[in-house]
Chains A and B, each alone.
Chain A
Amino acid sequence: AQSVTQLDSQVPVFEEAPVELRCNYSSSVSVYLFWYVQYPNQGLQLLLKYLSGSTLVKGINGFEAEFNKSQTSFHLRKPSVHISDTAEYFCAVRPYNQGGKLIFGQGTELSVKP
């Protein structure tokens, strides 16, 4: 079985400040890792993904994440946030060879203040 834990339910931050959204996972099998963003009343948009190779992955909108296998973490970071980054962020894992099923974390609400 797999589980995903996002350690912060809400993260308030001022504009242009750096931010880190934390994600830890548990799995008995290898997984792919994803971060999604959701704006109010909308579906999910993929920010970035880790499949293999370099553990530092870069995504859209200036976000990046680093896969740490020993700590089973996949934290999301951005060096300087904008008001428009205010949204809900979800970390997710997909186990290998399970047909595409995604297991989501609880979500982190990022609130960027001026």
Chain B
Amino acid sequence: GAVVSQHPSWVICKSGTSVKIECRSLDFQATTMFWYRQFPKQSLMLMATSNEGSKATYEQGVEKDKFLINHASLTLSTLTVTSAHPEDSSFYICSARDWSSGSIKNTGELFFGEGSRLTVL
């Protein structure tokens, strides 16, 4: 199947700093990527939909100025957590949809990255 890679896998930062997480589709082009947040022992909550070449669409309750999303190319989306605080500590997971295959386009299958664990001290 298609491969989605996230970097970094782990990041520890001081409160008040900004952290960037990358999500790359390695063997396909992804016009749409999705960012999820997962708290310990909880489900994945969709944060935003990242669209190549346009602004991201944020879910209700997600601060767009806090979580900056950029999707500058067909294979890369970035999530920047600005002025991070301890409550931002979480597991962030991206996913991407491969539009190149007609069958996949109609089935909605997404490919997930390995996740990035952010710890803010």
Contacts and interface: CB of A to CB of B under 8 A. Distances in A.
A114 interface: no
B43 A105 contact: yes
Interface residues of A, number: 23
Contacts of B1: 46
A21 to B, nearest CB: 14
Given A101-B34, A102-B95, A107-B42, A43 B107 contact: no
A88 to B, nearest CB: 8
Interface string B38-66: 00011111100100000000000000000
Nearest to B103: A51
A102 B46 contact: yes
Nearest to B6: A43
Interface in A86-100: 90, 94, 99-100
Contact of A32 (B45, B91, B108, B117): B108
A99 B114 contact: no
Given A90-B43, A101-B49, A46 B109 contact: yes
A54 interface: no
Nearest to A44: B112
A107 B41 CA distance: 8
23 contacts: A32-B108, A41-B91, A41-B115, A42-B114, A43-B4, A43-B115, A44-B44, A44-B112, A49-B109, A90-B43, A90-B44, A99-B32, A99-B97, A100-B32, A100-B34, A100-B97, A102-B34, A102-B46, A103-B46, A104-B43, A106-B43, A107-B43, A109-B41
Among all A-B residue pairs, the 4 with the closest Cβ atoms: A43-B112, A94-B108, A44-B112, A100-B97
Interface of B: 1, 4, 6, 32, 34, 41-46, 49, 91, 93, 95, 97, 107-110, 112-115, 117
Interface of A: 32, 34, 36, 41-46, 49, 51, 90, 94, 99-107, 109
